[in-house]
Structure 1
Amino acid sequence: MWILDSWCGRGGVGFCDLDQGARIHREEYAPPFYIAFPDADRHGDLVEGLSGRFRVDECTFTTIFGKVAGYAVFAGQNAAGVIARQSGQDVELYNVDLRCDQRWMAERRISPCTPSDVSRFTPDFERDLRLVRIAVHGSLMRPHEFSCIAVTDGGRCERIRGPEKTVLADLGSMIAGLDPDVILFPDADVRAPALVARAQELDIDLPLSRTGHYTRLSATSYWSYGKVHYRGCALLPQGRVLIDTVQSFVYQEGGLSGVLLASRLTGMPPNFVSRHTPGTLVSAYEAYEAVSRGIAVPFHKKGPEENRSFAFLREMDRGGMMFQPVSGVYGDIAEIDFTSLYPSIIVRENLSPETIRSTEKAGFLAQALGPLLDLRVLTKEMKKHNSRYDGADAILKWLLVVSFGYTGFRNARFGSIEVHEKITAHARRILIEAKERAEDSGFEVLHGIVDSLWIHGGGDIGRLQRSLYQATSIPVEVDRFSWIAFLPQNDGTGAFTRYFGRRENGNLKVRGIAVRRHDTPPHIRKMQERILALMQTAVAPEDLHGLGGRAADLYHAAVRDLPSAPPSELVIRKRVSTTAYRHACLEGSAVATYRRNGIDIAPGMTLAYVVRDARRHVVDPAGECAGGADLHYYRELAKRAWEEVSFVFGEYCGTCVGRRDLRAVPVS
């Protein structure tokens, strides 16, 4: 069995099995949810009333804290809400809102995109999936126009042009003939619903779905890590994978292999995982692990944080540790990185909500994250020799990073703020110990961020690496740099997360500058990329001095070419946190402009626009730029991008300062 896709239906689950020629199966499946009352005698009438409407069985089920006596209720999620209200919230609910297809697979210990005899925890995908790319030409401001559609199968691209009815009919015929398993489709979540609706109006068969049916995801805005995000409504075909290659975070980070691995690990279909954040996927992964181990998944986290003294919080809740660098360019640098430090601490220290008071038994979080962590160590090594593992490694990195943050999330099913605090406390001790061991080994520590140190000196780096592993049991990676530049903040002090440097293998590592920011226009990004490529030729800090003139020429050429740059090269992409702006600004103008064009805007959406007049806050949507661009505004953007990198050609190039200037800063 090789399940490509799965979905929930009335009283059962459906799935597409590629081992049987993409055959569609349906299984009857209506599992119960579980309830437990702290005082069952108080709610006897409620249980009796439930028994009159639904099947209710007395039972004992398992949570991470142990066995619980309660009831299995064979009803839907709405019934759980009624029970909660009628009991005055004096009830514990479990397995209420799990996707039935995920739960069905977890109980059988099978998962999507995985052969029956293969572990979920492998990054290899031996099956060749039939993949097709579809692209609708035209502006997103007019998503219902279909005069030209490109279909790419392998290396062959065919453009379908003509009247709308002809284009849609030919597209339907091509999909039916190719019968792809996976469709990669830019802006699919905007285009596909319009395509399907128009095809139905014209009575055209457009078989995006292998069953003819679709699952709809509603649009939502939500907060994550201090930012507002938006997930648009989507139309998910059954039996086929449809990925929005522009909007999918998982696809952007990990490619198709990353999507398939996330599906394999979480038990969720690729259509679902490609449209959700790493936080949702971590929650799904933990739920799958719990169900497969016979552990009930709480509907809402119980047990609020206990009252604790200010002194205790000050000692415990201090976040990660950082050592502030002194801005400058440094040569012969080594970066020491603890692989997946926070998840490694969870596993090593057996941290989980149920082990806070007693560590005698194995904790659920530690057991669940252990295989994920082992897989990350494997893919991190494998990608050094084969780039096809890059996507899998990127997704694993995100899942493990978020697994730590999720322990402190107030709605995390298996979260606990005390676990979160213990993790960061261990991490602070590890980084401080690593700093001291490095200094004792003859190195100077230039910078440190939570799980990494940048060091300089003539000590034995291999011996230090082995020493740190022996002390922590956490794998330690060493990355050597010919030179690295730590950039200054506005006040002249070193920036924590803005730096770039040349590795000994000639590649660059870049963080925090324009080329890495999502809102940088392509024209400006390309300018900075060219300058960084020039810097790659410098094999030592002193070589950078001689490149300043050529780098300046690249900057001036980019500024000179601005008037002739096509509008697509000047597009700015901004995520809006609100749709109601008190003061005039470019983002507010973009929101208003999109709305005038009939596009509904919600917080968290990313808007693409070209600035026509920055002083008057006038913008044009991407693809609709008719009035030209504000060249003065774009020259300023180019100047800022130049100043970020031209720092290395100045007076600080080649300097190196001692540890006396290093400052430890705890961060939350």
Structure 2
Amino acid sequence: MWILDSSLRKDEVVLWGPGGAIERVRAPSSFLFNLPDLPSHWEMVDGLTETFPVSEVTIQTIYGPLKGFQINAGVSVAEMIAVQTQYSARLFNVDLRRDLRYLAEHRHSPCRGRGIDRFSATVDQDLVTMEIAIKGDPLQKRAITDCTVICDHQRSRFSGDEQTVLADLFGLIEAVDPDLLLFPNADIWMERVIAAAGRHGIRQTISRTERFATLDSRSYWSYGRMYHRPKAMLPEGRVLIDTAQSFIYKEAGLEGILIAARLTGLPPNRTARCTPGTLISTYEVYEALTRGIAVPWQKTDADRVKSMGSLRAVDRGGMMFQPEPGVYGRTYQIDFTSLYPAIIVKHNLSPETVEHPELQGFLATVLDPLLSMRIATKEQKRCDPTVTGVDAMLKWMLVTCFGYTGYRNAKFGRVDVHERITGISREVLIETKAIAEQLGFTVLHGIVDCLWVQGEPIRALKLAVEEETGFRTEVETYDWLVFLQQKDGSGAYNRYYGRLDDGSVKVRGIMMRRGDCPRYVAQMQQAVLGVMKKARSVLDLQALTGEAEGVYEQYRSGLAHTKIADLLISRRISTVTYSRRCPEAGAVAGYRRAGVQVAPGMTLQYVVRDAKKGLADPVWEAREMDHAYYISLLEKAWSELLPAIKPEQKIQGILLL
């Protein structure tokens, strides 16, 4: 059976395929618990047995079997057991979704037909897809009067009063009965759309049952940044993807979401709203359940007591070699393919192998097929672009699998594994540098899992590194490359750009890559780089100085006449209270004036009207701009490109060929 969605109804799991429900199965809540001091808690066990079905079982964990109990009860009972045993009880499978458990225990997974390998990168089902776009800003409380729908390459536009537009939209959805709805800002629009349908007495057809599961809005920290997830309404039996808010959709597309659902056991509705970290964590949970391994609820093995000597000895992060800022001629970038997960697999790293390396590590075994899949898709996308999205999704899942080994709440994480991975990666990078220098290469820069080198022949270096380290590598060739400098004049680790030998330009860390860069400023950098990429060498770059300057001056002089929409700044705010005047504070004030509830982690869109006074207007109110402020942004973006065409002005005279 091909599963498109799964939903919960009391003690049932409902499985949906394209077109409707295909199966209902009983799946009551249950969990496992172990009592290290069982005689002290017999009265509690007897009391539980009188109220709930309880049976003695052997609990399989990654560390080995435990004697314990299975009880058909929910989270509230688990919490009671934890409190009554003064948190000495070990509880498992408490907070898992019942549909995920059912699918894993029966070896089913979403988005996969009979006989299809779960680790295949191909979607084996034709799904009816509909694209919906409502005109206007979803945060404004205005009537919905204009909507465009695309289905089967046909475009329909509904306009008029709100009741007519919604009736036409829901009527078309009912007639076509699509499996997938692609809807920008759906998670912001949906509450308004459903409320409006209720006011007008219109039966909504977005959910195949008119029922929705709800994900509450929340602000949260991740990797040092504040994020905000808006409230989401997930329809039953149909997939609704917020194409503007979903990170996975923006990075990996529809195919990436469907294959991620297949790997993790989560329905696409939830997969589309997950972070890569949640995806890899859920994938590990799914793998554990298919193997009969219990999933801990409240972890006790995230870290262990260490001596001062061992604390000093542990590795504290990835290795980096700082570059000298400058313009470089032919340069090679040698990258290790998914180095951190490859280290986990090769060195059999897992929480249980820290003290017992002879065991087969759980993390190593579950990441092995995912790593093999990534290696295959990375090779396949060179001739088959349809797997590009799947490859991007796998890249993000494998990137975060390392971070989750050190995350205290990760179901199968332990900081010792995290430290061992970074320690091995440091050794690998140092070894690779030594191999390069022994072969006569000059090492320009290195960061965690890649090196930039000059020398020949690069194939000899690639083969030598792979043979000595045991890890796969890839090579990118630059005709020229620019490492930018930091404020103190030293080389920046992650700000560079250069022309690859296929004629494209690779950029990292410059303004056009920033999420808050106005479109007009990004277009200027893209246009100048479009001129610069014609250069096949550093000397050719100097000959293009005049043409590049002409493009910059064109954008500078054209600023006063550009569309206000091209000057929008999209910035994720970490706070809603400010002690000084600044554009962000002005934008927050503007959103609040419009009745929008602002929360940390939200992305606000605004145009700066007066930077000195901290005045900024939300996207729907923007009419004026601070010309001097936007000129300063253009100048900053231009200054990042100057080192390539006038190196003596910005790189303190350094020019390496």
TM-score greater than 0.5 by the shorter chain? yes
Alpha-carbon distance change, 148 to 97 in structure 1, aligned in 2, over 3 angstroms: same
Query: Partner of 1:2 in structure 2?
Result: 2
Residue pair 1:356, 1:418 contacting (<8 A) in 2 also: yes
Secondary structure of the equivalent of 1:30?
A: coil
Tell whether the 8 Å contact from 2:335 to 2:449 is kept in structure 1 after alignment: yes
Name the residue aligned to 1:637: 633
Structure 1 residue 25, shift from structure 2 partner? 2.8
Query: 2:302 touches 2:413 (CA, 8 Å); kept in 1?
Result: no
Aligned to 2:42: 44
Choose the corresponding residue for 1:529, options 516, 526, 534.
526
Q: SS of the counterpart of 1:398?
A: helix
Checking the alignment, whether the CA contact within 8 Å between 1:120 and 1:265 is kept in structure 2 is yes
Correspondence for 1:433: 431
Deviations 1:405-461 (A, max 9, x none): 100011111111100000011000000010010111111000101000011013x22
Instruction: Find the counterpart in structure 2 of residue 477 from structure 1.
Output: 474
Structure 1 range deviating more: 188-197 or 140-149: 140-149
Q: Which amino acid aligns with 1:651?
A: P
Structure 1 distance, partners of 2:197, 2:156, is 20
1:509 and 2:509 are equivalent in the alignment = no
Check if 1:605 corresponds to 2:591. Answer: no
Q: How much does 1:554 deviate?
A: 1.5
- Give SS of 2:4's match: strand
Mapped pair 1:579 → 2:576: yes
Deviations 1:182-201 (A, max 9, x none): 11111100111211121122
Deviates more, 1:646-655 or 1:499-508: 646-655
Q: Which residue of 2 aligns with 1:149?
A: 147
Counterpart Cα distance in 1 of 2:69 and 2:53: 10
1:121 paired to 2:119: yes
- Mark the runs of 5 or more structure 2 residues left unpaired by the alignment: none
- Which of 223, 227, 236 matches 1:238? 236
8 A Cα contact 1:611 1:629, kept in partner: yes
Q: Following TM superposition, by how much is the alpha carbon of 1:656 offset from its aligned partner in structure 2, in angstroms? A: 6.1
State how 1:286-435 maps to structure 2 within 5 Å. Answer: 286-303=284-301, 305-435=303-433
Q: Using the TM superposition, give the Cα deviation of residue 304 of structure 1 relative to its aligned residue in structure 2, in angstroms.
A: 5.1
Instruction: Decide whether the 8 Å contact of 1:171 with 1:206 is kept in 2.
Output: no
1:144–1:39 Cα change, 3 Å: farther
Q: Specify the alignment match of 1:592 in structure 2.
A: 589
For 2:501 and 2:476, how far apart are their aligned partners in 1? 8
Q: Deviations over 1:178-217 (max 9, x none)?
A: 2111111111001112111211221112210112211111
- Paired residue for 2:210, among 203, 209, 212? 212
Within 2, Cα distance between the matches of 1:420 and 1:409?
9
Task: Determine the C-alpha separation between the residues in 2 that align with 1:92 and 1:317.
Answer: 30
* Equivalent in the alignment of 2:53: 55
Q: 2:545 aligns with which of 545, 548, 558?
A: 548
Partner residue of 1:64? 62
Equivalent positions of 1:437-476 (< 5 A) are 437-458=435-456, 460-476=457-473
> CA 1:304 to 1:6, structure 2 compared with 1: closer, same or farther past 3 Å?
closer
What residue number does 2:257 align with?
Answer: 259
2:327 and 2:643 in contact (8 A); partners too: no
Distance 2:10 2:537 in 1: 66
Letter of the structure 2 residue corresponding to residue 541 of structure 1: V
Alpha carbons of structure 1 residues 417 and 551: separation in structure 2 relative to 1, 3 Å? same
Aligned positions of 1:652-667 closer than 5 A: none
Q: 2:536 aligns with which of 526, 535, 539?
A: 539
Deviation at 1:143, TM superposition (A): 4.5
Distance in 2, Cα, partners of 1:429 & 1:464? 17
Q: CA deviation at 1:585?
A: 2.1
| CA contact 1:121–1:265 (8 Å) conserved in 2 | yes
> Given that residues 93 and 298 in structure 1 are in contact (C-alpha distance below 8 angstroms), is that contact kept between their aligned partners in structure 2?
yes
Helix, strand or coil at the partner of 2:423: helix
Query: What displacement does 1:385 show?
Result: 1.5
* Displacement after TM superposition at 1:288 (Å): 0.3
CA contact (8 A) 2:353 2:359 kept: yes
Equivalent residues of 1:326, 1:657 under 8 A apart: no
| 1-structure distance, mates of 2:185, 2:142 | 13
Matched, 1:12 2:12: yes
**Alpha-carbon displacement from aligned partner over 1:380-423 (angstroms, at most 9, x marks no partner):** 11111122211111110100010001000111111111000000
Preserved CA contact (<8 Å) 1:262 1:395: yes
C-alpha separation between the residues in 1 aligned to 2:138 and 2:587?
14
Q: Deviations over 1:341-366 (max 9, x none)?
A: 00000000000000001111210000
**Aligned-pair distance for 1:309?**
3.7
1:144, CA displacement in angstroms? Answer: 4.5
Amino acid at match of 1:9: R
- For 2:467, give the aligned amino acid: Q
Change (3 A) 1:53 1:581: farther
Distance 2:426 2:656 in 1: 24
Q: Is the 8 A contact 1:34 1:71 kept in 2?
A: yes
CA distance in 1, matches of 2:386, 2:228: 30
Task: Tell me if the contact between 1:488 and 1:494 (Cα under 8 Å) persists in the aligned partners.
Answer: yes
1:646 partner letter: L
Mapped partners of 1:404, 1:362: distance in 2: 18
Following superposition, the deviation at residue 596 of structure 1 comes to 1.7
Task: Verify the 8 A CA contact 1:24 1:239 in the aligned structure 2.
Answer: no
CA distance in 1, matches of 2:305, 2:574: 33
Distance, in Å, in 1 between the alignment partners of 2:598 and 2:55 is 47
Q: State the distance in 1 between where 2:219 and 2:201 align.
A: 34
Counterpart-to-counterpart distance in 1, 2:71 and 2:557: 71
How far does residue 31 in structure 1 lie from its aligned partner after superposition?
4.6
TM-score, normalization by structure 1: 0.96
Deviations 1:527-576 (A, max 9, x none): 11111111111111111111122112222211222222222111111111
CA contact (8 A) 2:325 2:482 kept: yes
Q: What letter corresponds to residue 492 of structure 1 in structure 2?
A: G
2:554 to 545, 552, 557: 557
- Residue in 2 that maps onto 1:615: 612
Change (3 A) 1:525 1:478: same
**For residue 617 of structure 1, what is the amino acid of its counterpart?**
G
Q: TM-score of the superposition, structure 2-length normalised?
A: 0.97
Identity %: 45
Query: How many Å separate the matches in 1 of 2:635 and 2:384?
Result: 38
Q: Answer with 106-115 or 81-90: which moved more.
A: 81-90
Deviation larger for 557-566 or 639-648: 557-566
Aligned-pair distance for 1:318? Answer: 2.2
Aligned pairs (5 A) from 1:178-189: 178-189=176-187
Contact 2:647 2:655 in 1 (8 A): no
CA contact (8 A) 1:111 1:267 kept: yes
- Rounded to whole Å, the distance in 1 between the matches of 2:37 and 2:489 is 62
Secondary structure at 1:3 match in 2: coil
Return the letter of the residue paired with 2:357. T
Q: 1:481 corresponds to which letter in structure 2?
A: Y
User: Residue 320 of structure 1: SS of its match in structure 2?
Assistant: coil
Deviates more, 1:41-50 or 1:226-235: 41-50
- Whole-angstrom CA distance in 2 between matches of 1:56 and 1:588: 56
Q: How far off is 1:3 after superposition? A: 0.6
State the alpha-carbon separation in 1 of the partners of residues 553 and 476 from structure 2: 34
Aligned twin of 1:105: 103
1:651 counterpart (643, 647, 652)? 647
1:198 corresponding residue in structure 2: 196
